[in-house]
Structure 1
Amino acid sequence: MEDAVPHYTPTQIKHYAKPVPRYTSYPTAPHFNEAVQDKTVRKWMATIPADEAISLYIHIPFCDRLCWFCGCHTKHTLKYEPVRRYLQTVYNEIRLVGSRIGRQQTVAHLHLGGGSPSLLKPEDLADLKRVLLENFHINPSTEISLEFDPTDLDKHALRAFAGFGVTRASLGVQDFDPLVQATINRPQSFEQTKFVVDTLREQGVISLNIDALYGLPHQTLTTLEDTLHSVISLSPDRIALFGYAHVPWVKPHQKMIPENSLPDNMARFKQARFAETVLKDAGYVAIGFDHFAKPTDSLAQGYKAGTVRRNFQGYTTDACPTLIGLGVSSISQFAQGYAQNVKDTHSYRRAIEAGDLPTQRGIAVGPHDAMVASAINELMCYFTLSKAPLRAAYGDAADMIISRAQRIAHEDENGYFKETASGFALTDSGRPFVRTYAALFDDYIAETSGKYSVAV
């Protein structure tokens, strides 16, 4: 186990362990501003082509338990009534967005995240599906994914989610070690998790994703190995292996985690590399820097075909140019830019009741931003930067990106970023640092360098 990183020194790891974005968008959310409001988003929605499928994301910002490691926008509630009131506003936002588009747009992908969308009651799931069908065209080919908390679900609830049409279930595991779980306030047994997996499969939900974390308090290579073998025994189609982002200045509840229980940068790096080896040895295909999939899964097949990209759900085969976020804090992506909803439920409800889209901020993007986004996306997905597609799409403007890449390659003392016949590529040794290299192309990052988690 200790030989997981034989070619790296602590100095190198420290150098690359900078606070940089995960690049699920470009520009990233800290650069959004209040120039983008309801009027702007209405115009963007009006330009969506009638024959173009879109994606929808619905945010459910409630949990019946607050996990201390969580970096999501959520709130703890022991009562269901606030959830039900919130859903009424979501229904009205769905209707409002449908009216702004002006037709029943086809939905290719629908994702429910949180928080814990799995706490929704069966009757509310039915109401949500009805409102969606009244305002959008959802058909049997629509991929519907939902995030599950395995600790509070029974067969009745799981049957309701299958009836909602879920095609892909995403389960949070994090780590099965009791000490780690106690420190992050996430008690969850393997048996609970297996029950949910087995029941969902019995109900016809055959596509399964499991999230695991490294870099957690008291986590070791041994506990991580045990967790990964337990996860692999469940035979998920996809595994997302995220590094825990300790940002207590952003998420104050993370202060409940003792700083001295966290692994240092070198230990985190060893965990990530070791976990990658375990998953590859189990037959999973590495997708980018933190996703893994069975060779038969659509993500692995899309990766082989060169069609995988990154969005707010991580690595995806979702090719829709438009993603509309519904609910508090949700982010929408349009050809013209990004828009984020307000983050508190009271402002959200007031905006919807006034007939306004609940947009709080966003950013308009031009050709230059789109070009940088394309370059970063290729680097984050495939560890390459190809000259020909950039020049074909952006003409002479692409020379700026290419010149920058040449300078990075020339100045890279470790030789991790190299010029190739077709463009540029990270070496196998450089791939773990892809976020840090992507940040070298980011024109905005100097303004917000302290707002991100470390890159290893």
Structure 2
Amino acid sequence: MSTITEFPDPVTAAPADTVELATTELLEKYDGRVPRYTSYPTAPHFSERVSPEVYAAWLRDLPDGAPLSLYLHVPFCDSLCWFCGCNTTVVNRPEPVARYVDLLLQEIDMVARSIGARRQVSQIHLGGGSPTILSAEQVRRVFARLRHNFDVRVDAEIAVEIDPRGLSEDTIAAFAEAGLTRASIGVQDVNPKVQDAINRIQSHETTTRCVELLRKHGVDKLNLDLMYGLPYQGIDDLQETVRRNLELSPDRVAVFGYAHVPWMKKHQKLIPEAALPGTEARWQQYREAANWLVGAGYWPIGLDHFAKPTDSMAEALREGWLHRNFQGYTTDLAPALLGLGASAIGKTPQGYIQNHKDVPNYAAAIKDGRLPTAKGVEVGPDDAMRSDAIEQLMCFMTVDVGEVAARHGAEASVFDPAIRQLREMEQDGLLRISGSRITVLECARPLLRTAASVFDAYLENNGQRRHASAV
């Protein structure tokens, strides 16, 4: 296996073949708590000022002719993974899921009526929770309602997050009939001791069976989700996890760092903190996973994704149209993402919205004939400019803030304070500043969030304890 020192220009050139990381001292210096920047302003700044009425007005004003992207949230699982940071509830009976599907269908109708016209859809993503907890019939009902209300393009990407455990072939077949083009399969780690510590027992044979069934039904674009920083996890474990899962030839691999935030997610208290790797160990785990993947021919994408050079995400990186949203890195070019379901987050050109997180309040709104919008935030001109800079840096590891400012009708000097903040990282060999261009070096890839945070005008008021460590 080869090792990586630094990549050439991430937009115009192919990656080199090593990942070297910063020193322990620099890790301790820059491993602060910062947002993941899947939105800007970030979720702590959402408020009830964005009401159902405000969202309805935003929907009516969506740009004519522009396609939409849809995200559907299914907030149920049949068991709870202790590492999970998602909005989900364990259910052991079919009735709660059936009632929820009825509510979701009603929300789809309400959103379509608010828009007032049958709009094109270029991407549909189902997340959770575990969307594959839906029965085959429920999958068919949801997609029939979507296609009734929206013009789903023939070339639309339709993706679903999958828990392979207990997955039925009937459900896979129903998703395939609905036009599924991509599946993201949760794996995390193959070591039984690690799996036991996070309450997710999943044999490699279970994952392999899931991949085989998907390919049998014509779903050949596959993503695998792995994790580092888990309890009792060592470098050898992560290497074995990467090695065995590369045998499945996924198109994309995400290597997420476990975010231990037990003050926000109480079930994470069940994970023994003493068994968690420290910052330096996490850094080394990331390096080894990245080197295995790059050595196997995958391109590193942003903070934590890797893709085959032939995958659309690598194409988006090369050609400069990669984006980042609440699903992470994405090739979605739609100007509006509509969130459907409890806790779902959406974005229109005017701002972000989030539905009620808990199913009872979500259900009450739907039954009252109201959009289930709980909160959101309007994006002003300065927000849009800073969001642009943050997204560019998070996606491409480089940004020309002078160009960003000009694009938004501002003077380049608006970013001078941010550049001054980054000078220390430059002196520490983590990034380069040339005029108004900032480039994060490969050795600091896991610190992208730290570098991006200098553009965050709200960070001091974010309540940093809400966020996970950068590394």
* TM tier relative to shorter chain: over 0.9
Deviation sequence 1:276-315 (CA, Å, 0-9, x none): 1110001000111200000110110111001101111111
Question: Of 115, 136, 140, which aligns to 2:150?
Answer: 136
1:262 maps to 276
Question: Of 435, 452, 458, which aligns to 1:438?
Answer: 452
What does residue range 286-301 of structure 1 map to in structure 2 within 5 Å?
A: 286-301=300-315
Question: Of 50, 63, 74, which aligns to 2:88?
Answer: 74
Would the alpha carbon gap of residues 42 and 6 (structure 1) be closer, same or farther in structure 2, given more than 3 Å must change? closer
What does residue range 207-226 of structure 1 map to in structure 2 within 5 Å?
A: 207-226=221-240
What does residue range 35-74 of structure 1 map to in structure 2 within 5 Å?
A: 35-74=49-88
Q: CA deviation at 1:143?
A: 0.7
C-alpha distance in 1, partners of 2:49/2:255? 36
Amino acid at match of 2:378: A
What does residue range 370-449 of structure 1 map to in structure 2 within 5 Å?
A: 370-401=384-415, 403-412=416-425, 413-420=427-434, 423-447=437-461, 448-449=463-464
Question: Of 213, 218, 227, which aligns to 1:199?
Answer: 213
- Three-state SS of the structure 1 residue aligned to 2:300 is strand
Would the alpha carbon gap of residues 292 and 6 (structure 1) be closer, same or farther in structure 2, given more than 3 Å must change? closer
Q: Mean Cα displacement is larger for which, 179-188 or 413-422?
A: 413-422
Question: Of 182, 185, 196, which aligns to 1:182?
Answer: 196
C-alpha distance in 2, partners of 1:386/1:217? 39
Q: CA deviation at 1:6?
A: 6.7
C-alpha distance in 2, partners of 1:90/1:270? 43
Question: Of 93, 98, 101, which aligns to 2:107?
Answer: 93
Q: CA deviation at 1:388?
A: 4.8
C-alpha distance in 2, partners of 1:146/1:32? 26
1:149 maps to 163
Q: CA deviation at 1:422?
A: 5.9
- Three-state SS of the structure 1 residue aligned to 2:374 is strand
C-alpha distance in 2, partners of 1:37/1:30? 16
Question: Of 120, 131, 136, which aligns to 1:106?
Answer: 120
C-alpha distance in 1, partners of 2:20/2:401? 33
C-alpha distance in 1, partners of 2:447/2:365? 42
Would the alpha carbon gap of residues 6 and 359 (structure 1) be closer, same or farther in structure 2, given more than 3 Å must change? closer
TM-score, length of structure 2 as denominator length: 0.94
Question: Of 168, 176, 182, which aligns to 1:168?
Answer: 182
1:452 maps to 467
1:233 maps to 247
Deviation sequence 1:161-212 (CA, Å, 0-9, x none): 2112110011000001000000101000111111110111111101000100
- Three-state SS of the structure 2 residue aligned to 1:187 is coil
For structure 1, the residue ranges without an aligned partner over 5 or more in a row are none
Q: CA deviation at 1:392?
A: 3.2
State the percentage of identical aligned residues. 46
- Three-state SS of the structure 2 residue aligned to 1:328 is coil
1:245 maps to 259
- Three-state SS of the structure 2 residue aligned to 1:84 is helix
Whether contact under 8 Å (1:109, 1:318) holds in the other structure is yes
C-alpha distance in 2, partners of 1:201/1:453? 36
Query: Cα RMSD over matched residues?
Result: 1.6
Residue 367 of structure 1 pairs with residue 381 of structure 2: yes
The number of aligned residues is 454
C-alpha distance in 2, partners of 1:252/1:367? 37
Q: CA deviation at 1:419?
A: 1.6
C-alpha distance in 1, partners of 2:405/2:182? 37
C-alpha distance in 1, partners of 2:430/2:20? 16
Question: Of 302, 313, 324, which aligns to 2:327?
Answer: 313
Deviation sequence 1:118-151 (CA, Å, 0-9, x none): 1110111111111111111113211100011101
Deviation sequence 1:200-243 (CA, Å, 0-9, x none): 11111010001000000000000000000111000000001100
TM-score, length of structure 1 as denominator length: 0.97
C-alpha distance in 2, partners of 1:190/1:430? 32
2:337 maps to 323
- Three-state SS of the structure 2 residue aligned to 1:355 is coil
C-alpha distance in 2, partners of 1:49/1:204? 34
Would the alpha carbon gap of residues 319 and 16 (structure 1) be closer, same or farther in structure 2, given more than 3 Å must change? same
C-alpha distance in 1, partners of 2:20/2:319? 32
C-alpha distance in 2, partners of 1:259/1:5? 28
C-alpha distance in 2, partners of 1:316/1:173? 20
Whether contact under 8 Å (1:294, 1:300) holds in the other structure is yes
Amino acid at match of 1:55: S
C-alpha distance in 2, partners of 1:127/1:156? 14
C-alpha distance in 1, partners of 2:58/2:411? 25
Deviation sequence 1:328-381 (CA, Å, 0-9, x none): 111110111111100111111111121211111111111100000000001111
Q: Mean Cα displacement is larger for which, 350-359 or 279-288?
A: 350-359
- Three-state SS of the structure 2 residue aligned to 1:295 is coil
C-alpha distance in 2, partners of 1:51/1:146? 26
For structure 2, the residue ranges without an aligned partner over 5 or more in a row are 4-17
Whether contact under 8 Å (1:409, 1:418) holds in the other structure is no
What does residue range 350-361 of structure 1 map to in structure 2 within 5 Å?
A: 350-361=364-375
Deviation sequence 1:417-447 (CA, Å, 0-9, x none): 3222561211222332111111111111111
C-alpha distance in 2, partners of 1:61/1:432? 29
Amino acid at match of 1:129: F
Would the alpha carbon gap of residues 354 and 6 (structure 1) be closer, same or farther in structure 2, given more than 3 Å must change? closer
